[in-house]
Amino acid sequence: MTAAAREIRDGDVVFVGMRLPLLAFCVAKRLHAPRAVGLFEAGIVRDTPSPALLYTMCDPPNIQNAAACLSTAHVMSLLQRGDVDVGFVGGAEVDRYGNLNTSYVGSWREPSVRLPGSGGAADIACLSKRLVIMMPHERRRLRTRVDFVTSPGFGEGAGWRQRVGLPGGGPSALITTLGLFRFDRDSGEAILCSYHAGTSLAEIEQATEWPLRVARDLAPTPEPSRHELEIIREYDPTGFWTGTRSQV
């Protein structure tokens, strides 16, 4: 979660998303990005951190002292205008080009699993200047090729977004429960840049279906600072989002 908070820069307009990004935005606002502005798909705009833990983006603490409470269409239009610097998304499957599946597992004609679909995720993936993907790290999720592209990353590789006319910058980071990936701008492929405490390169390779590309300067992910942990414990004292039962 702290790795996600560090992806937010001071002054960013952030399309926050659900689950851990709700907490990551508060941590970033309190520590290193005080001028960041949060957009929530329900139509809420915040220039201050939420005063309490959010379970959904529509919770009363998110409305309290919000900068604006608008329509979903109004907030989504800010993506179309190119105003969103970074957006957070997740999914059931992701491939090495950052394409996400939240629609079907198996054939779309006769799927083995039906998933909830896009919501606003496709818009966020297509139109944000930077896209941050958050996923549990399991071999069944980090696929060589996703079964269905709900939210596009770099499509089939280098130059694909430009060929199909997507204006956003595409994925900049894939944060999993095991490590942090960045995306090579020449090939569009994910490259493992750091591994989280308690894991190893061998474990990440085993849990990833595609052939792993590893950065030359691969290193452990920087651990949470004392201040980051204090804020997380303040917002989430019972471990609802950060406890052992919670995943990215």
User: Residue 244 — very low, low, confident or very high, per pLDDT cuts 50/70/90?
Assistant: low
| Contact (Cβ atoms closer than 8 angstroms) between residue 134 and residue 90 | yes
The pLDDT of residue 185 is above 90: no
Mean pLDDT of 36-48: 95
Any domain includes 240: no
**For the segment 71-101, what is each residue's pLDDT rounded down to a tens digit?**
999 999 999 999 999 999 998 999 999 999 9
Find the helix packing angle between 226-235 and 20-31, rounded to 10°: 130
Any domain includes 81: yes
Pairing between β-strand 100-101 and β-strand 171-176 as defined by DSSP bridges = unpaired
Catalytic residue numbers read: 41
Any domain includes 190: yes
**For the segment 121-136, what is each residue's pLDDT rounded down to a tens digit?**
999 999 999 999 999 9
The per-residue pLDDT of the chain, averaged, comes to: 93
Any domain includes 188: yes
Paired strand residues for 105: 113
Q: Which residue has the higher pLDDT, 1 or 40?
A: 40
Residues shown for the chain:
248
The pLDDT of residue 20 is above 90: no
**For the segment 154-181, what is each residue's pLDDT rounded down to a tens digit?**
999 989 999 999 998 999 999 999 999 9
Any domain includes 45: yes
Q: Please name the residues in contact with 195: beta carbons below 8 A apart, sequence gap of 6 or more.
A: 178, 179, 180, 201, 204, 218, 220, 221
Mean pLDDT of 108-131: 91
Q: Which domain covers residue 122, as residue numbers? A: 2-235
Q: Which residue has the higher pLDDT, 90 or 1?
A: 90
Mean pLDDT of 125-149: 96
Any domain includes 119: yes
> Residue 21 maps to which CATH number?
3.40.1080.10
Query: DSSP secondary structure string, 46-98?
Result: ESS--SS--SSTTSHHHHTT-SEE--HHHHHHHHHTT--SEEEE--SEEETT-
pLDDT computed for residue 115 by the predictor: 87
Any domain includes 202: yes
* Number of domains observed in the structure of the chain: 1
Any domain includes 150: yes
Strand order in the sheet with 214-220: 68-69, 44-46, 37-39, 13-15, 86-89, 130-135, 171-176, 179-183, 190-195, 214-220
The pLDDT of residue 248 is above 80: no
